[in-house]
Amino acid sequence: MRNKITKTIAVLCLTWFGHLSAQAQQDFQINLSNLILYEAAASHEVALSPNATLSAFGGYVYGFPGQDEHRYYYIGPELKFYPFPTTKGADLFFVGVYGRYKSGYTETDFYEYGEIPGTPDYLDNNQTQDVDFQKFAFGFDIGIKWITDSNIVFSFNTSLGRNAYYNYDYDVFDAESIENQVNSSTYENSYSSTSGLDSKYWDFRIGLNVGYRFGAKKTTD
């Protein structure tokens, strides 16, 4: 199911952008700052007008050096508005709205306990496993973009979003669970990500990007 959703989103994005970019001005960028640190990410932005663009972005978060307990890939669309562009179009300050689908895993601690039937004693259990997850978020993006006379693109952006949907595959803990060995009225459990990087509710993006503008004439003296 997860792969089917991802393929559907990818096909729709590629079809739509293939149609738009046939004649339009377009920017291709990579997230240079995050590539050095923990993530490979790129975006393809197509101009709808001097003030508006539609883009698709995607990436893979592989983590900081020595950190492999929280990894995922993502893909999504974004609509940007540039209120004060220069004659180059679609540049300087922008605001945007975006959607982002994420799929990956996060290392998770599972703790459970309950009273042993017929005794005053309690039984507890702790497990640590990689838990698969899928999320879909909507959010807002702000940033600034500069275009050189040679059509080199530089930009900075930061985003904040809210997960509208999330799902964690906690079934990996079922095989060694003690739930059936204790009184159901006293049974309790909890889950927590060991990395501290995972959020069920919030979505964040940030980056210093560099790329190239296609479909626009270079400025000459």
Average pLDDT for residues 31-54, to the nearest whole number? 94
Count of structural domains, the chain: 1
How close are the terminal C-alpha atoms of the chain, in Å?
Answer: 55
Residue 40 lies in a domain: yes
Q: Give domain status of residue 23, yes or no.
A: yes
Residue 117 falls inside a structural domain: no
| CATH number (domain holding residue 208) | 2.40.160.20
Domain presence at residue 119: no
* Residue 32, C-beta contacts closer than 8 angstroms, at least 6 positions apart: 207, 208, 209, 210
Q: How far apart are CA 72 and CA 134, in angstroms?
A: 9
Q: What is the mean pLDDT of residues 60-76?
A: 89
Residue 173 within a domain = no
Least confident of 1-5, 40-44, 51-55, 184-188: 1-5
Say what the pTM is.
0.84
Q: Are 100 and 161 in contact (CB under 8 A)?
A: yes
Contacts 24+ apart (CB under 8 A), 183-189: 183/114, 183/115, 183/116, 183/117, 184/114, 186/114, 186/115, 186/122, 187/112, 187/113, 187/114, 188/112, 188/113, 188/114, 189/110, 189/111, 189/112, 189/113
| Res 102 pLDDT > 60 | yes
Would residue 189 count as lying in a domain? no
